[in-house]
Structure formats: structure tokens, C-alpha cells
Chains A and B, each alone.
Chain A
Amino acid sequence: MDMEMKINKSKLSKSTKNDLITYGMVILTYIVVQLLVSMGHVSSLIQGLLVPFCTYVIVAVALNLTVGILGELSLGHAGFMCVGAFASAVFSLAFKDVLPGGLRFFLALLIGAAAAALIGFLVGIPVLRLRGDYLAIVTLAFGEIIKNIINVLYLGVDSKGVHFSMKDALSLQLEEDGVMLIKGAQGVTGTPNDSNFTVGVILILITLFIVLNFIHSRTGRAVMSIRDNRIAAESVGINVTKYKLIAFTVSASLAGVAGVLYAHNLSTLNALPKNFGYNMSIMILVFVVLGGIGNIRGSIVAAVLLTLLPEVLRGLSDYRMLIYSIVLIVMMIFNWSPNAVFFRKRLKQKFLPGRKAEKEEA
């Protein structure tokens, strides 16, 4: 067994090495940040952003699985985050005093991931059978619908069971001792704060583990073959709809995990345009495009930098979207323009002689 592993490692060394660099980068960043925090070099503002960083990294990596590996465009990943966030927040609130913190958060994670996966699967079934950009259109609508539904949803629980209404809190007709779980536009209040930076980083590592291993497995190859040439993939016996659905469901469920992390960092969870709306979905897509489509490590870097950028340029907050678009254009040129690619290759050869331009596919 050990021998086998070794042989395998030497054969796949390039991709394995790349993966290890990615894991190492995350762990190193974690250690550095923890050191800086303990030495008091990090402002409370940035400290408060540590968990959102993790959330965005996870959801960006998840979206990259759809955009970069599957080659489909999703404009509703904030919606899947929203599903994961609310499903898990309701669970955690309902079992706040019943279960111990660790176990409760673990179950909340599973529930959030499962809920998002289920919704992703249901959205994917009709859409992924079609060719073309239908997924983008449908997920765009889905993201808005789910946010608006949650804004009018009232959910409560008492001794008789679970009550829900789309009208108002009174029509739930809860008993005296009943507990309100979702209060319409006021959202979920009192969710236990189970998230912290360490948990976030662990979840990033788990997400990376799932996504990177997925890509380098038989399933991942099938998914990428569909991306590269659907007709050829069919001709060698790949079940196109099945593998598209698998990839999209995994991607949605990981977005759900990001939602769980997000929900358990706040005492009040609302479905606002700011956090789960269309703009958020686009922002996640910007992370993916800036980091390089299909480049997992790039998504992580882009998610962190672009979340940090508006904080650093806080005074220019109004111009944030303007700066985004400028950065986006510059990065697109840097990533895709033939001249820029040539320039990068020359730069690489100059500074890293002996290494060919093999990092391209990382």
C-alpha cells in the first residue's frame, strides 16, 4: 500500500505538489494572522473581517468548480449561501440549549450543506440538460427568489410542532412558550456564535480537500471533458447530464457551507441584497474571474484581496464598484491578452530558469 502510494505520488507529482502548495499557503496565512493578532498588530475592524474572508474564500472556490471546471456560469451562488445560512441558523437556534456547541455546529454544517445541495440538485435537473447559458439565467432568478421568499417567511415552533406563514408573525398562532425561528424581514436572531477564524480556516481546508481531490478524480476528469468538448465526451461514453449535475450539486453544497459559516458569525441573520443578493453573486464571480477561471489558488487570493481592498480604501467606499471594474479589466488583460501572456512567460523564464510555463494549468 505504501509503495503504491509512493509510485502514484511520483507519477502525479505535479498536481499533487500544486495542491500541497495551496494547502500550505492557507495554513501559513493562518499562522501569520494568528501571530499578528496575538501581538496586537491587527485592528479590530480587520479582526471582524476574518470570518467573512473565510466565507468568501469558500464560496469562491465552490463557484470555481462550476465556472472553471464544469464550464457553466452560475449567477446565483449567493442564493445557495443563503439557503445554507438559513437552514443551519434555524437548526442551531432550535437546538441552542439542547446540544453541546461542537456537535451542534457540526450538525448545522451538514444540514446547511445538504439543504444547499438539494436545492442545487433541483435547480440543476431541468437546466443542466440543456446546452447554452440557461444555467446563468435560472440561477440568477433563483438567487433573487430565495432571498425574497425568506424575507416574507415566518417560522415558529411550539409544543404542537412547527408553524410557518408567509403573511405575518400573528398568523403563526404560536403558543405562549413557542419560539420564533424566522421573523420575516427581521430574519433569524440569537443564532449561537459558533464560527471563528480557526473554524473558518478548517472549513477552507476541507473545501479545498474536496474540490482538489474531486478535480483529480475520475469524476473530475469526466466533468472537465464535458467542458472541453461535449460531443467528444458523449462519444467516449460520458453521461453528460449526470456529471454536470454531480459537479453543480457539490458546488452548491460547498456554497451552503460558506453560508453556515457566515450565519454563525452573526447574531442577526437577514437576507439582504447586500449579503445574499445579485451583487454578492456577481462579486463571487469577480473573485473567480480575477483569480483565473479554473485556478483554485487564484480564487483564494482574489477573494481575500478584493474583500480587503474596500476596507483599505474605506474613504473611497462609494467608488468600490468602480475600482472593482478597473481592477477587473486590468486583470483580464493580464490574464488573457496574448501580449501580456507572452510578457509573463518571458518574466517567468527570466526569474525561474529551467521551469517551463507549466504553472498555467494549476
Chain B
Amino acid sequence: MNKFSEEKTVLLETKNLGISFGGLRAVNAFDISVEKGQLYGLIGPNGAGKTTIFNLLTGVYTPDEGAILLDGVNLTGKKTIDICKAGIARTFQNIRLFSDMPVLDNVKVGLHNHYPYSTLEGILRLPRYHKVEQEMNARAMELLEVFGLEGYADYKAENLPYGQQRKLEIARAMATNPKLLLLDEPAAGMNPNETKELMETIRFVRDRFEMTVLLIEHDMKLVAGICEKLTVLNFGEVLAQGETQEVLNDPDVITAYLGE
């Protein structure tokens, strides 16, 4: 496969995805198609089902119907850890770090499945333990440097400033070596400066790791600034889909989401 055709391959595809909670249809007939290397935005008013879609994609919920395909592999109904191994990593709307552990170890947990040694080797500190731990430390520091967190390596995660915690979550997700990165409201609670910095970080991650990013966001400036394509959700259904500027100028979207 040459580079040209690779750029156009679809990485994530969902077909007719749906889930109900009791009588509430949270997500209905959701189709999306994200190409490799794309920065894709998922927007919509509160309660539109955005995070539910992330939870469906990462196996937290099992869809009632429809299919999820990553790189052509069917991930429907798989467990969270298998989906992580298949290559989807995520961050959370309300930050979920390993708060009592050092920043470096947070990233090392993300590296867990890529740097194996057995429990016994760890307890007895056999040569493999030292070798693998060293490789892990080097890789984790590398990732922290990418996000400008190397100075915080020994800090407890919960003692980081808010913006850095967001970055650490992305660093931890990147440590799992994903094909697709899901960011759930990465700019929530950030001031304009931090948001600007975050936009640069996200773009940088995409370029540096050739990553595909699907993000949920409320901050219109951020969405308009970095997303190439958008899907707008309203009451669990797709309201509009397409190029960012087109979608943002769509009168339906303006009414539903941005107000009159």
C-alpha cells in the first residue's frame, strides 16, 4: 500500500449503532466514518449522547444493534481491554488519573501490555525485570517530554495543575500505542490560554504520531480551529455531518446547538 491510498483509508466505521437505557433511546442509527489521520469532532447539546457513543466505542456499553469496525476488524460487543488492545484509547470527561500514583507510573500503566515480564520476575527482580523496567522508564519519559510533563515525573498525579492532568491523560492514552484516540471534552474547565495550548498539543499529537483523533467538545473555537470534519448529534441522532465550516453554517445546527 502506498502512502497516497493509505491517507484515504477509513479507520473507524460504525453502522446503525444504537442503544437504549430503559425507555430512553440514547443513541439511534449512528453512522460515522473516520479516515486515518483525521481530526474528527463530535458535537451536540448536553445529553445528546456523545459520551454514550464513546462508551459504546470502548466497550463500556454493549450496543443493542449495529456494528463497530476498526481497520476492518469488528469490535462490536468486545470487552474494554480487548478494544484497548485492538487500538482504541480514550480520555475521560471528568479526569480519571491514577491519582495516588506518580505521574511517571501513570504512563507506565499505559505501557503495561507492551512491556511484559511475569509477576515472579518482578518479585525476584531477575535480569529481565531490570531490562524491561529501564525500557519502560525511557519510553514513559519520552512520552512525558512530548507533552512537556517531564519535570513532573515524580509528582503525584493528583497534585498536577488541571491543564497538566488533561495532558497526562492524553499521554497515558498514547502509551497504549493506539490507532485511534478518543478525547472526551479535553478543553472542559480550561481557560482560553490553556485551550489554545491544548489545540496545539492535539494537532502536534496527530502530526507526530500520525494519529487519528475523534473528539467531543463544547468549545466552538477549538472545534472550528482544529477539526476537519464534524458530526452533530441531537437527541441521540445525527443532525448533520460533513466538513467543519459547512456543518457550522448549517441552519439546523445553529438552531439546535448554538441557539437562535
Q: Do A and B bind each other?
A: yes
Asked if B101 and A234 sit within 8 Å, CB to CB, the answer is no
Asked if A222 and B112 sit within 8 Å, CB to CB, the answer is yes
Asked if B85 and A237 sit within 8 Å, CB to CB, the answer is yes
| A219 and B98 contact, Cβ closer than 8 Å, known pairs A11-B137, A237-B176, A239-B81 | no
| A221 and B100 contact, Cβ closer than 8 Å, known pairs A210-B123, A239-B81 | no
Partner of A229, one of B99, B108, B136, B175: B99
B245 at the interface (CB under 8 A from A): no
Asked if A219 and B134 sit within 8 Å, CB to CB, the answer is no
Asked if B176 and A229 sit within 8 Å, CB to CB, the answer is no
Asked if B112 and A221 sit within 8 Å, CB to CB, the answer is yes
Asked if B112 and A218 sit within 8 Å, CB to CB, the answer is yes
**How big is the A interface, by class?**
35 or more
| A237 and B81 contact, Cβ closer than 8 Å, known pairs A221-B108, A231-B96 | yes
**How big is the B interface, by class?**
35 or more
A225 at the interface (CB under 8 A from B): yes
Residues A203-262 near B (CB distance < 8 A): 209-210, 213-214, 216-222, 224-225, 227-229, 231-239, 246
Number of A-B contacts (CB under 8 A): 107
Alpha-carbon separation in the docked complex, A167 to B58 (Å): 55
B119 at the interface (CB under 8 A from A): yes
Q: How far is the CB of A40 from chain B (nearest CB, A)?
A: 40
Alpha-carbon separation in the docked complex, A238 to B116 (Å): 12
**In the assembled complex, which residues on chain B have CB atoms less than 8 Å from the CB atom of A294?**
100
Interface centre among A5, A221, A238 (most CB of B within 10 A): A221
Task: Mark B residues whose CB is within 8 Å of A.
Answer: 58, 60, 80-81, 84-85, 89-90, 92, 96-101, 105-106, 108-110, 112-113, 115-117, 119, 122-125, 127, 129-134, 136-137, 154, 156, 172-173, 175-176
**Would you list 30 pairs from A and B whose C-beta atoms are within 8 A, ordered by A residue?**
A4-B131, A209-B123, A213-B125, A214-B119, A217-B119, A218-B122, A218-B132, A219-B122, A221-B101, A222-B109, A224-B105, A225-B98, A225-B106, A229-B98, A229-B99, A231-B92, A233-B98, A233-B109, A235-B80, A235-B89, A235-B92, A236-B173, A236-B175, A237-B84, A237-B112, A237-B176, A238-B109, A239-B81, A246-B119, A361-B100
